[in-house]
A = this chain, B = another copy of it.
Amino acid sequence: MVEQLETFYRGRRALVTGGLGFVGSSLVHELVRLGAAVTVIDACFPDQGANLLNLKGVLEEVNLVVADIGAVDEISNFLVDHELVFNLAACISHVASVHNPLQDLERNCASQLRFLCALGELSPRARVIYTGSRSQYGSPLYLPVDEEHPLKPVDINGVHKTAVEEYHRVFHEQGRFRYTSLRLSNLFGPRHQMLHDGQGFLNWFIRQGLCGEEIRVFGDGDQQRDFLYVDDAVQAILLAAACPDCEGKTFNLASGTSLSVAEAAAAVCELTGASWRCMPFPLERLSVEPGNIIMDASRLQETLRWKPQWDFHAALEETVSFYRQHGHHYFRPPRGKVVLDRKGFALS
With beta carbons under 8 angstroms apart, the residue of B110, B156, B166 that contacts A159 is B166
In the bound complex, CA of A345 to CA of B276 (Å): 61
With beta carbons under 8 angstroms apart, the residue of B105, B148, B151, B162 that contacts A110 is B105
- Complex: chain B residue closest to A148, CB-CB: B150
- Give the chain B neighbours of A88 by CB distance below 8 A: none
- Give the chain B neighbours of A106 by CB distance below 8 A: 110
Interface residues as binary, A138-161 with B (CB distance below 8 Å gives 1, 0 otherwise): 000000000010111111100110
- Give the chain B neighbours of A160 by CB distance below 8 A: 163
- Give the chain B neighbours of A243 by CB distance below 8 A: none
In the bound complex, CA of A148 to CA of B152 (Å): 12
Confirm or deny: A52 has a beta carbon within 8 angstroms of a beta carbon on chain B.
no
- Give the chain B neighbours of A155 by CB distance below 8 A: 170
Q: List 7 A-B contacts (CB under 8 A).
A: A98-B174, A102-B114, A102-B117, A106-B110, A151-B151, A160-B163, A162-B162
Number of interface residues of A (CB under 8 A): 29
In the bound complex, CA of A101 to CA of B117 (Å): 9
In the bound complex, CA of A106 to CA of B114 (Å): 12
- Give the chain B neighbours of A154 by CB distance below 8 A: 170, 173
- Give the chain B neighbours of A107 by CB distance below 8 A: none
- Give the chain B neighbours of A166 by CB distance below 8 A: 153, 159, 162
- Give the chain B neighbours of A309 by CB distance below 8 A: none
Confirm or deny: A303 has a beta carbon within 8 angstroms of a beta carbon on chain B.
no
- Give residues of chain A (166-182) contacting chain B, Cβ–Cβ below 8 Å: 166-167, 169-170, 173-174
- Give the chain B neighbours of A173 by CB distance below 8 A: 154
- Give the chain B neighbours of A321 by CB distance below 8 A: none
Contact A102 B113 (CB under 8 A): yes
Confirm or deny: A287 has a beta carbon within 8 angstroms of a beta carbon on chain B.
yes
With beta carbons under 8 angstroms apart, the residue of B102, B114, B156, B167 that contacts A170 is B156
With beta carbons under 8 angstroms apart, the residue of B148, B152, B167 that contacts A156 is B167
How far, in Å, is A94 (CB) from chain B's closest CB?
11
Confirm or deny: A109 has a beta carbon within 8 angstroms of a beta carbon on chain B.
yes
- Give the chain B neighbours of A152 by CB distance below 8 A: 169
- Give the chain B neighbours of A159 by CB distance below 8 A: 163, 166-167, 170
In the bound complex, CA of A152 to CA of B113 (Å): 17
Contact B117 A110 (CB under 8 A): no
Given A153-B170, A155-B170, 12 extra CB contacts under 8 A: A101-B113, A102-B110, A102-B117, A105-B105, A105-B113, A109-B109, A109-B163, A153-B166, A156-B170, A159-B163, A159-B166, A162-B163
Contact B174 A287 (CB under 8 A): yes
- Give residues of chain A (209-258) contacting chain B, Cβ–Cβ below 8 Å: none
In the bound complex, CA of A180 to CA of B177 (Å): 36
- Complex: chain B residue closest to A159, CB-CB: B166
Interface residues as binary, A22-39 with B (CB distance below 8 Å gives 1, 0 otherwise): 000000000000000000
Question: Closest 6 interchain pairs by CB?
Answer: A159-B166, A163-B163, A101-B113, A159-B163, A105-B113, A102-B113
